[in-house]
Amino acid sequence: RAKHKGKNNYQFYDAHMNVHTIERLSFEAQLRRALENREFVVFYQPKVSVLSGKIVGAEALIRWNHPENGIVLPTQFIGLAEEAGMIGKMGLQVLDIVCRDIAQMEMAYGAFGRVAINLSGAQFNDPFLLDELQKVTEFWKITPESIEFEITESMVMNNHEQAIAHMDGLNAAGYTLSIDDFGTGYSSLAYLKRFPVNSLKIDRSFIQDMPADANDTAIVLAIVAMAKTLGLKVVAEGVENVTQLDTLMSCSCDEYQGFYFSKALPFEEFMVLLESTNLS
C-alpha cells in the first residue's frame, strides 16, 4: 500500500513537473512569436520636478500587448526573457520604439527632458551595445543627450571595474546614467563616488510607508542628503500620495515618479499630459 501510495506521489510529482515544463515552453514560444510579430509596446511614466510640479522627463516601461490576454506587465516576462536569452533582442525593440517616440516628441514639443530606458545586465555587458545605440539614434536622428539608462546596483557591484568601463563608454558617447531601485542592493558609498552616474532613484519600498514609518523616512532623508553631497540628482519612485510628496519636498528631493501624478501611459496619452502640464 505504501509502495502504491509512493508510486502515485511520484506520478503526481512527475505530472506536475511536466505541466510546468510545458507551460514554460509554450510561454517561451509565445515570447519568441511576440518578438517576431513585434507585440511589445512601450508606456511612459512622467518624472516630475518636486519643486515646480512640471514634467521633466519620462521612464520607458515595456508592455506586452498579448493578442489574447491584452497588456501584460514586465514582471510577468522579463525574467524568462533573460533566462531564455531573448532579452537582447527585446531590448533592441524597446530602444527602436523609444527612439522613434523621442523623435516624434521633439518634433511636436521641442526640447524635452530625457527618456530613461531600463537596461538588463546582459544588455549593459553587451560589447555591441554602443554600436547598436549609434545605429538606432542615427536612424531616428536623435542625440544621445535625449536618453538616460537606468541600471541597478547589482549590475555594477558584481564586477565594478568592468562596470565602470561600460559606464565610462556610455558617458563618453553622451548618454546619462542613473542607479535604479537604490537602497535594495549593496552599493558601498566609496564605490558610488567612483561611478559616473548622474542620479539615484530611491526604491519604492522606502517611499511606501513614509512618513508614518520613522525608519524608512530616516533612510530616505539620509539618501537624499548623501546624494546631494556627492553631487547626484535624487529621484523618488512610487510616490502615491501627497504626504509622501510633502516629505520629499521638505528634504529637497529633486524629482519623483508615481501613481500620485500618473501611472505609465501609452505614448499619445503621455504627450497629452505633457502638454497640459507643462504648457499651462
Q: Is the peptide bond before 211 cis (omega within 30 degrees of 0)?
A: yes
Q: Which is nearer to ligand C2E, 12 or 153 (CB)?
A: 153
* 3-state SS class at 39: coil
Scan residues 78-137 and list those touching ligand C2E (CB under 6 A).
78, 91, 94, 118-120
Phi, psi of 164 (to 5 degrees): -65, -40
d(CA 19, CA 276): 50
Q: Which is nearer to Mg ion, 33 or 263 (CB)?
A: 263
Which one of Mg ion, ligand C2E, none is in contact with 61 (Cβ closer than 5 to 8 A by kind)? Answer: ligand C2E
DSSP 77: T
Q: Which of 15, 65, 22 has the alpha carbon at shortest distance from 40? A: 65
Three-class SS string for 194-211? HCCCCEEEECHHHHCCCC
Of the candidate residues 148, 180, 216, 255, the single one contacting ligand C2E (CB under 6 A): 180
Beta carbons within 8 Å of 44's beta carbon, 6+ residues apart: 58, 59, 60, 61, 101, 115, 264, 265, 266, 267, 270
Of the candidate residues 73, 214, 230, 249, the single one contacting ligand C2E (CB under 6 A): 73
Query: How far apart are CB 4 and ligand C2E at their closest, in Å?
Result: 47
Q: Which is nearer to ligand C2E, 48 or 264 (CB)?
A: 264
Span near Mg ion by CB under 5 A; candidates 91-99, 122-130, 176-184, 250-258: 176-184
d(CA 241, CA 221): 17
The amino acid sitting at 8 is N
DSSP 186: -
Of the candidate residues 101, 180, 216, 254, the single one contacting Mg ion (CB under 5 A): 180
Q: Assess 255 for contact with ligand C2E (CB under 6 A).
A: no
Span near Mg ion by CB under 5 A; candidates 24-32, 181-189, 223-231, 254-262: 181-189
Q: Which is nearer to ligand C2E, 86 or 119 (CB)?
A: 119
Query: How far apart are CB 3 and Mg ion at their closest, in Å?
Result: 50
Of the candidate residues 146, 187, 247, 257, the single one contacting ligand C2E (CB under 6 A): 257
d(CA 253, CA 224): 6
Q: Assess 238 for contact with ligand C2E (CB under 6 A).
A: yes
CB atoms within 10 A of CB 244: 22
Beta carbons within 8 Å of 261's beta carbon, 6+ residues apart: 46, 48, 239
Closest residue to ligand C2E, Cβ-based? 258
Query: How far apart are CB 147 and ligand C2E at their closest, in Å?
Result: 13
Which one of ligand C2E, Mg ion, none is in contact with 73 (Cβ closer than 5 to 8 A by kind)? Answer: ligand C2E
Residues that bind ligand C2E (CB under 6 A): 45, 61-62, 73-75, 78, 91, 94, 118-120, 150, 180-181, 204, 237-240, 257-259, 264
> Which chain residues interact with Mg ion by CB under 5 A?
118, 150, 180-181, 237
